[in-house]
Structure 1
């Protein structure tokens, strides 16, 4: 049974952070000469105004769930996988290669592309995992470098291998697409695809893995206290590598889903797409829990999709929505730091009492 909300409740602090973030955004609009009531009205009408709007919101939410789960799983196991961005790019590249170069039956083709995308992300995450486990190299440094390597590799493959010196590839074969007519019809032509169902299944998988399996217990134990876990007979190095590979696999799946369901082609990008970095915010607001990630993805996805409508209806720049994001994360982080300080104070008091 869910306990009562209190001052230290993660759910309560997230709700308060959202409200405060919206207020900060409203103040920013007022100071800039915009009407916050009209702006937020345009935002919410764009999210819930029609079946098509809801479908596009669900499409926006889908990659955020994957990215948030990838970050949250790594956080739970003591790793900061800031390389979700690069793993996502590699996953989309691998899926594009399969979707363009292979000729397979419809369902099998999509499955192979998704699996290859997930495996590519896992292998890309294996490198920082190995360096962390064997040499003690901090994963953040390696992941940041590999993000850019992934981008430049993808751009090279698009221009030189997957196309004839073009800025984008052709569309993948229809047999590799994960768009389905019944979802498109249900949401009045919106680009909703089977990736949404895969995101829900992945959420269930992460929950079961972390909280209902022996492996998940070991991963969380290593994240909480590597020394105690090693003393208890757990392989810290193995669990670090597994953590990064599973996280990277989910990130790679995010890239494959976006490629096969949304764009259906791969283009040269001057910069990283940003979904992986948004996943950090999603995981933080969702308290690194699978259900929390889904809920925070719904919030951020709605703000993302509805934010563009603010520009047309209320003429409010999209950067204002970024201010709301930043404010929400700032308030969540402030509460996290406060709780961390409270834990340290309680620990010191306990040590003094025992002495």
Structure 2
């Protein structure tokens, strides 16, 4: 007996992919229009740089993978919370706290990279537990507490690092006192190993095994959500907390666990980025953007952990391309164009409804003709 095919309007996977592709296309078109308005003569060259730089050389592609790894973790963090009915806008604070824990273990305590990554997860998890507790115990909206803890986390980390002389670059022979020490000088053993990937990517200084770690984590998160009782309970709480409680599921515990896991994922992203050995944490006065960029990554992927892998790669790709648009365009211009593309890509949720209705209308017209 032949299995009946599901109507296109009910094919969630296909509609999700089409919605994401349509959102990306609209974002790219609007980005190009901005380039034309700002500098008509260089618009074609600028767009070509944005779309072609990421694959222009193995080194550039290595940079795409390097930047995609922390983006992937932040996207997984936001997407995991979405799947469980929570909006984790606190990913930047959790990312910052994970960075702090990783760097303290690397520079202050001279631990190896894998223990530093574990510490990064713990730091992010600690910062994720507070919005979860407020939501579960007092029904305080997690968006409010997450935003507050983003700023608390940033200023707390800045205060602690500024008062830990060993953490600063000036303690390791550099002149800077506004940033952490370079890991190559402070603790080479804390730098995430390249695992031979640098040779595959033309001796790239960017690439390391973090991209493999993040892909593995994304697969594990997919398995947890799709194939385990624990994942089913988390999603059930997200869909209907009252019904899940009536079914015997401990909703309060699952809300807290959801935010703890989401925080651990963001924290791991911070550890991965700063333990690569290519950048140093600078004592900032604004919340790190990486956590916020995890929101469009998750929306573009429909919060699917496997989809997050590809959406993070896409956003990293246009960011690398945007850096190559100078000097024809100022850094501020390229930031605006990239922001337009990224945040138009987040309209995938809206596009899914548009495409579903289009398929449904088409089916009704075909039925009316018959």
**Fold agreement, TM-score > 0.5:** yes
Superposed counterparts of 1:297-316, under 5 Å: 297-312=312-327
Report the CA distance between 1:264 and its aligned residue: 5.5
Tell me the alpha carbon deviations over residues 207-244 of structure 1, each in whole angstroms, 9 at most, x when there is no partner.
Answer: 01100111000000000011110010000000000100
**1:235 is matched with which residue?**
250
TM-score (norm. length: structure 2): 0.85
Check whether the contact 2:110–2:190 (CA below 8 A) recurs between aligned residues: no
Check whether the contact 1:82–1:140 (CA below 8 A) recurs between aligned residues: yes
SS of the equivalent of 1:312 reads: coil
Report the CA distance between 1:186 and its aligned residue: 2.3
**2:235 is matched with which residue?**
220
State whether structure 2 residue 178 is matched by structure 1 residue 167. yes
2-side partners of 1:33 and 1:146: how far apart?
Answer: 40
Superposed counterparts of 1:36-185, under 5 Å: 36-104=43-111, 109-161=112-164, 162-163=167-168, 166-172=177-183, 173-180=187-194, 182-185=196-199
1-side partners of 2:349 and 2:225: how far apart?
Answer: 23
**1:29 is matched with which residue?**
35
Report the CA distance between 1:300 and its aligned residue: 0.6
SS of the equivalent of 1:205 reads: helix
**2:364 is matched with which residue?**
none
Tell me the alpha carbon deviations over residues 276-325 of structure 1, each in whole angstroms, 9 at most, x when there is no partner.
Answer: 11100000010010121111111111111111101236678312222222
Superposed counterparts of 1:148-297, under 5 Å: 148-161=151-164, 162-163=167-168, 166-172=177-183, 173-180=187-194, 182-187=196-201, 188-263=203-278, 265-297=280-312
Aligned Cα RMSD in Å?
Answer: 2.5
SS of the equivalent of 1:261 reads: coil
Q: Which moved more, 1:302-311 or 1:264-273?
A: 264-273
Say if 1:151 and 1:337 are closer, same or farther in 2 by CA, change over 3 A: farther
Say if 1:228 and 1:289 are closer, same or farther in 2 by CA, change over 3 A: same
**1:321 is matched with which residue?**
338
Check whether the contact 2:19–2:355 (CA below 8 A) recurs between aligned residues: no
Tell me the alpha carbon deviations over residues 125-156 of structure 1, each in whole angstroms, 9 at most, x when there is no partner.
Answer: 00110111011111111110100011111111
Gapped regions of structure 2 (runs ≥ 5): 359-370
Count of residue pairs the alignment pairs up:
337
Q: Which moved more, 1:217-226 or 1:94-103?
A: 94-103
**1:350 is matched with which residue?**
none
Say if 1:3 and 1:266 are closer, same or farther in 2 by CA, change over 3 A: farther
1-side partners of 2:134 and 2:356: how far apart?
Answer: 28
Gapped regions of structure 1 (runs ≥ 5): 343-355
2-side partners of 1:38 and 1:170: how far apart?
Answer: 38
Report the CA distance between 1:32 and its aligned residue: 2.5
Alignment equivalent of 1:334, drawn from 350, 353, 358:
350
Report the CA distance between 1:336 and its aligned residue: 5.3
Say if 1:119 and 1:67 are closer, same or farther in 2 by CA, change over 3 A: same
**1:20 is matched with which residue?**
26
Report the CA distance between 1:43 and its aligned residue: 1.6
Check whether the contact 1:158–1:166 (CA below 8 A) recurs between aligned residues: no
1-side partners of 2:105 and 2:341: how far apart?
Answer: 39
